[in-house]
Amino acid sequence: MPTASRPRAARATSYDVAQAAGVAQSTVSRCFQPGSHISDDTREHVLAVAARLGYAPNALARSLITRRSHAVGVLITRYTLRSAPALLYSLGDALARAGQHMILLAVDDDASVKPVLLGLRGYPLDGLIACATLDPAAVQGFTAHGVPVLFFNRSPGETDADAVSTDHEAGARALAEGMLGAGRRRFLCLGGPAAAPVGRLRIDGFQAGLRAAGLPEAAVLDGGFSYDQAHAVFVDAVARGARPDAIFCANDQMAMGVIDACRHELGWKIPDEVMVAGFDDVPEGARAPYRLTTVRQPIDAMARQAVELLRQRRATPERRPRRQRLPGEVIIRASAAWPG
């Protein structure tokens, strides 16, 4: 005969702690409030009793009173989560330093955002950092309820939200200028899906560098932001007659796929026969098989600035939106090098 499950222990309340500690319930509350006027002996005694009973303040209930949850939502696409985990770490670290908790919400892509947003509005957030595209109506839905929105490495579009990003166009243009300075003239680009805004900005910046030198724009292949797809479409393009001497990929994963295709399928020497550059500076790109020239995003500085802008927005909701683009750093390695 199956044994009956044991009843679940009731969660201790502040009243339980007050009774066990022999103090008023309001005293228990003050003991958990930093800076409250209460003696060290009383605080130490109450906290010891609370620990013995397994009591912790209800953060959600407190947020209803203070209108501050100390929680910030981070909306991020699964691609960004896989390809740039350092971004999430930097945001989490910057939020923690500001006394904020991070609530992570991952979506498949920018087109999958709306259903997640509907559920997210039920949380008492202090802010939302969007590493995905949101339309003005979605932003307004949060700001109308006192939740500021900040776009991180995404364009804010026509919204009134703050934004912090890498200057993607300038970084890609610098790569084009470097390759041109090295004497390269036959260019090919690999971008991401058409709906990926960051990839478009990087390709646009590279093309602007070519136009400024009086060259036609390069052909652009859809590398899908992935190693495998970039490898396959590049080999196919060469089979159909493409003969570039310089290749720009809108992220490092695609660049590594192209480098491996050149070496193992085509027998091309890098950088003698073809230069290859990427964008992001992922750790794998610096390793010996690739030694990839790329653009390093200032992720830590961006994360700190994002958290600060959210703080300022909470303090002054009516101020004009601020849009900050931080310069990336061109990292020159063996896959594409030029003087200076």
In this predicted structure, which of 57-66, 80-89, 114-123, 157-166 has the lowest mean pLDDT? Answer: 57-66
Other Cβ atoms closer than 10 A to 316: 9
Domains 14-57 and 71-166+299-326 share a fold: no
Query: pTM for the full model?
Result: 0.78
Answer whether residue 6 shows pLDDT above 70. Answer: no
User: SS3 for 155?
Assistant: coil
Q: Name the CATH superfamily housing domain 71-166+299-326.
A: Response regulator (3.40.50.2300)
Higher pLDDT, 265 or 155: 265
Buried b (16+ CB within 10 A) or exposed e, 87-114: bbebbbebbeeeebebbebbbeebeebe
Q: How far is CA 84 from the centre of its chain?
A: 7
Residue 123, SS3? coil
CATH topology of domain 14-57: 434 Repressor (Amino-terminal Domain) (1.10.260)
Query: 35-44, 114-123, 135-144, 194-203: which range is least confident on average?
Result: 114-123
What pLDDT score was predicted for residue 106?
Answer: 84
pLDDT digits (tens, 9 = 90+) for 251-309: 999 999 999 999 999 999 999 999 999 999 999 999 999 999 999 999 999 999 999 99
Q: Grade residue 65 by pLDDT with cuts at 50, 70 and 90.
A: very low
Domain-by-domain residue ranges, the chain? 14-57, 71-166+299-326, 168-297
Domain 168-297 sits in CATH 3.40.50.2300: yes
Q: Cβ atoms within 10 A of the Cβ of 23, count?
A: 18
Would you say the C-alpha torsion 199, 244, 176, 333 has a positive or negative sign? positive
pLDDT of residue 340: 67
pLDDT tens-digit series, residues 69-124: 678 989 888 877 777 788 889 999 999 999 888 988 888 877 777 777 766 666 77
